[in-house]
């Protein structure tokens, strides 16, 4: 079976740092993805981890521990426009298999 867990909602202050956690249990593993989705829009790709460690891309960083089945997305210097849903997704097999998504974390950035 497949199980991907992340918090339902989070609130953080403009300018602060927020960490969104994701734990997963899948039959296989071939990469963990983070997507951002603003209300009424399509998900857009943020990051991809397939090896353990931290991937940094500007204000966003993503971390993966395969042995723990754990990832987090770190958002620094929060801006109001970062208010969105953040979706954790896993590709559980090699090849061109589709992503399996968690339920998403709705982040609200407040002044």
User: Does 42 interact with other proteins (rule: CB under 8 A)?
Assistant: yes
* Among 20-28, 37-45, 51-59, 61-69, the segment contacting other proteins (CB under 8 A): 37-45
Of the pair 74, 100, the CB lying nearest other proteins is at: 100
95 binds other proteins (CB under 8 A): yes
Pairing mode, strands 70-75 and 18-25: antiparallel
Contact 18, 75 (CB under 8 A): yes
- Cα 65 to its chain centre, rounded Å, is 13
Q: How far is the CB of 94 from other proteins (least distance, A)?
A: 8
Least separation in angstroms between CB 4 and other proteins: 9
Side-chain half-sphere of 90: how many Cα atoms within 13 Å?
Answer: 26
- Please give the torsion angle defined by the CA atoms of residues 42, 38, 27 and 74, in that order, rounded to the nearest 10 degrees: 140
What does DSSP assign to residue 82?
A: G
Which listed residue (33, 34, 63, 72) binds other proteins by CB under 8 A? 33
Q: Which residues bind other proteins (CB under 8 A)?
A: 30-31, 33, 41-45, 48, 50, 85, 87, 89, 91, 95-96, 98-104
């Amino acid at each position: 079976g497949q199980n991907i867990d992340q918090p339902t909602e989070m609130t953080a202050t403009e300018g602060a740092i927020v960490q969104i956690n994701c734990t997963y249990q899948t039959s296989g593993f071939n990469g963990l993805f983070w997507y951002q989705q603003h209300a009424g829009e399509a998900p857009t790709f943020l990051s991809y981890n397939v090896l353990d460690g931290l991937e940094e891309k500007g204000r966003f960083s993503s971390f993966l521990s395969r042995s723990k089945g754990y990832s987090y997305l770190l958002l620094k210097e929060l801006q109001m426009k970062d208010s969105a849903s953040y979706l954790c997704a896993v590709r559980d097999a090699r090849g061109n298999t589709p992503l399996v998504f968690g339920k998403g974390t709705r982040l609200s950035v407040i002044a």
